Amino acid sequence: MFKSLRAHPLARPLAIFLGCFALLALADRGAGNVLSSATAFSMLETFATGALVALGLGLAMMIREFDLSVAGVFSLAGCLMALIGPEDPRLAFAAALAAGVLVGAAQGLIIVRLRLSSVGVTLGGLLTCVGLAYVLTENRSLPYDNLEATMAVTRRLWGVFSLRSLVSVAIVALVAIVFGATRWGREVIAMGSDRRAATTAGVPVAGLLVAIFAFSGFCAALSGAMLTMALATAAASGLSDVIPPAAAAAILGGVSLAGGTGRPLGIALGVLTLGLLRAGLNALGAPPFINDVALGAILLAVGVLDGPEIARRLAAFGGRG
Amino acid sequence: MTKRVSKILMAGVAGLALACSAGGALADAKGKKVLMVQSFAVHPYVAGIIKSFKAKAESLGMEVTVQAAGVDAALQARQFDDGVARKFDLIIVQPVSEQAIVPALARAKEAGIPVIISNNSPKDGTEALYQTFVGQDQNEMGRVVGRQIVKSFKESGREGGKVALITGALTEGLGPRRLAGIKEAIAANPKIEIVAVEDARWDTATGERIAGQLFARFAAQGGLDGVYGMADNLALATIKAAEAAGIPLGSGPKQLLVFGGNCQKEGIDALKAGKMVSSVSQIPTYVGEKLADAANDIFSGKTLPKETLLPVELIDQANVAKWEAACTY
């Protein structure tokens, strides 16, 4: 029973999340700083910024690829939002999302057709998108002058949510359902585990790869566009550093760089863990560098536990028990 | 005799009132929770602001919490909003982005939490959202250097010439403000031409690379007459690149004139060695202490002016000794 629970793909991300929560609650000593709606809201706002990027990047990692372009698409989409302006938010959103999907799909096609490494191709995509954003904005921050819209997307709903975080939660939930209930989930895992075997088994590898990169572009663009609305500004240099936390969240969520592991809900738990750490440590008044130290320690622990030798020993220990 | 007694009494009453008001201010600030939301906590300049602010604010009885976001505008807004949600008595913010912090400022105002903007100028038109800005007039920081460039060109026997500007981030904030100031002041001599404005984003290595490229680019046209590094680290990067290219430095007719921005120890050393013409005062301890004073004034119920500006002074060979200690942090 325990063994099957431990083997569940969500067991580790959930254990890390609950472990962090327990440690923070312990450090709070019942003062009510961590166990508060303010902490939950803050955690979910971090989720709103990072979850979609992490989801796209995590899916790419699941098929043993990597999408560096998410940071560029994130910036470019924000700049398009501000350039088209708050007068026509629907057109601005459509343009931003279309740009994200196009960039993602184009990269996917290049990787598939030319049999190139995703790291090289998406590095090119990243630099192209950032360069384009600099040209479009003429190296200036652009205001998104609609404070009402800004307040609307960031206003607290039911104590802990905002419109932005609800959209992110909804998309993650939808992807989790599709992943769990259709063959696509199994195909992604199969493709990441052994691409040749997956091809032989009839998995549409090329189509799936293009679709995942297009979806990753969509996610990064949506996240960037929503952040521009939330902060009422856009900049080619980007408003947030998205790749390191997204990769960290995916790894915490059980995704391996070697591919073939992980679940969308695991990635979501990884992002929530990052948000919880940030919000909880802020609530405790911890010095700024403590967050990086704590996150680094957790990632190191996860990395070590992922090592084949440790896994073998743990399995042997479990077998004896 | 009666007059003397009444004088003594009046002096006593005045003294008591003064003591009460000082005590009152201390009592007002005592136990107040202040959140300082910073950019780079490890940058020597920012660390200097934090250290001096904490020392003075804590001596006045305030409880200080510091958060830092690096260049992540979204994270800074999050840290600020957390402070609003946790009902700090006052928030001090050094905006990573003057635009991205505006919605958070609006939320603080809605929640009735006073805000002080530190060092990085706030966005024009947002005056209603904060109590005061403590820092320097960044346009003036540019104008001071611009005037010095005009003067130094003349003193070195040049009627005009070519000057290149290696700047900090021009996206928004300090960079564009200093640039506008320098352009305005240089316009006083139309024979001085700004031949290049290059964005090095405050980075020393980028500045050195840009300077090397500029020297190569203008070598065929008789070389550059002057280079402005928007901060002293960029001026130092220019000096290194000039030395590598074998370009003589100084303040004479055939020498490259290098002008710094905000003073740093290395800049002062270069100034003393005659490799740099001038720098400009920008002292973190002054900013930190003024921030604590401003916070104390707010807790005492005083209404502050929208700008609490610190002096902007040119540092050259004549007054370098006066600034050496303050610029060493």
DSSP string over B107-174: HHHHHT--EEEEESPPPTT-GGG-SEEEE--HHHHHHHHHHHHHHHHHHTT-SSEEEEEEES--SSTH
* Domain assignment present for B172: yes
Fill in the DSSP letter of residue B306. S
Say what the pLDDT of residue B18 is.
42
B258 SS3 class: strand
Interface of B with A in 125-184 (CB under 8 A): 169-172, 176
Give A43's pLDDT tier (boundaries 50, 70, 90): very high
Sign of the torsion formed by the C-alpha atoms of A26, A27, A29 and A31: negative
Mean per-residue pLDDT, A268-295:
90
Q: How much is the pLDDT for A157?
A: 94
Could you tell me which of A286, A276, A262, A288 has the C-alpha nearest to residue A19?
A276
Q: Are B74 and A278 an interchain contact pair (Cβ–Cβ within 8 Å)?
A: no
- Whether residue B317 is contained in a domain is answered as no
Instruction: Name the pLDDT band for B25 (thresholds 50, 70, 90).
Output: very low
Suggest the residue from A42, A233, A274 to mutate for an interface test with chain B (most B CBs closer than 10 A).
A233
Domain membership flag for residue B165: yes
Q: Are residues B144 and B258 in the same domain?
A: yes
Quick check: is B52 in a domain? yes
Question: A4-13, B27-36, B110-119, B245-254: which has the minimum mean pLDDT?
Answer: A4-13
Cβ pair B288, B59 in contact under 8 A: no
**Least confident window among A280-289, A311-320, B1-10, B117-126:** B1-10
Question: Do both B238 and B182 map to the same domain?
Answer: yes
pLDDT over 70 for what percent of chain A? Answer: 95
Interface touch B82/A240, C-beta < 8 Å = no
- Flag whether residue B282 sits within 8 Å of chain A, measured between CB atoms: no
- The answer on B230 and B109 residing in a single domain is no
Are both B276 and B290 inside the same structural domain? Answer: no
Mean pLDDT of chain B: 91
Q: Report yes or no on B48 lying in a domain.
A: yes
pLDDT in tens, B164-176: 999 998 988 899 9
> B198 and B79 in one domain?
no
Chain B closest CA to A140's CA: distance in Å? 4
Chain A closest-CA separation from residue B249 CA (Å):
32
Distance from CA of A276 to the nearest CA of B (A): 13
Interface of A with B in 215-274 (CB under 8 A): 227, 230-233, 235-237, 239-241
CA torsion B29-B34-B39-B42 (nearest 10°) is: 80
pLDDT for res A257: 84
In the predicted model, what is the mean pLDDT of chain A?
91
Domain match, B121 and B156 both: no
Lowest mean pLDDT segment, chosen from A175-179, B58-62, B170-174: B170-174
- Nearest-Cα residue of chain A relative to residue B84: A38
pTM of the model: 0.87
Does B229 fall in a domain? Answer: yes
Least confident of A307-321, B37-51, B59-73, B164-178: A307-321
> Are B272 and B188 part of one and the same domain?
yes
Q: Are strands B132-135 and B307-309 parallel, antiparallel or unpaired?
A: parallel
On whether both B235 and B174 belong to a single domain, the answer is: yes
- Our measurement of the distance from residue B138's CA atom to the centroid of its chain's CA atoms, rounded to an integer in Å, reads 7
H-only helix segments in B190-319: 204-219, 232-245, 265-272, 284-299
Q: Do A235 and B97 touch (CB under 8 A)?
A: yes
Banded pLDDT at A88 (limits 50, 70, 90)? confident
Contact (CB, 8 A) for B70 and B38: no
Answer whether B68 touches A (CB < 8 Å).
yes
Same structural domain, B234 and B118: no
How close A195 comes to chain B (CA, Å)?
Answer: 38
Q: Is residue B99, in this structure, part of any structural domain at all? A: yes
pLDDT of residue B46 exceeding 50, the answer is: yes
Give the number of domains in chain B: 2
Dump pLDDT digits (tens) for A93-124.
999 999 999 999 999 999 999 999 999 999 99
DSSP per residue over A20-67, as a string?
HHHHHHHHHTTSSSSSSHHHHHHHHHHHHHHHHHHHHHHHHHHTT---
| Residue A37 CB neighbours (<10 A) | 12
The mean per-residue pLDDT over the stretch A297-313 comes to 78
**Contact A140/B at CB under 8 A:** yes
B329 within a domain of the structure (yes/no): no
Q: How many CB atoms lie within 10 A of CB A1?
A: 5
Question: Which A residues, 55 through 94, put their C-beta within 8 Å of a C-beta on chain B?
Answer: none
Q: Which residue in chain B is spatially nearest to A32 when comparing CA positions?
A: B86
Q: Are residues B165 and B259 in the same domain?
A: yes
Strands B257-262 and B226-229, by their bridges, are: parallel
CATH code of B208's domain: 3.40.50.2300
Stretch B279-286: mean pLDDT: 94
Q: In this structure, are B272 and B146 located in the same domain?
A: yes
Domain enclosing residue B131, as ranges: 31-136+284-311
Q: Which residues of A touch B72 (CB under 8 A)?
A: 239-241
Give the per-residue pLDDT at A318: 61
**Residue B114 sits in the same domain as residue B229:** no
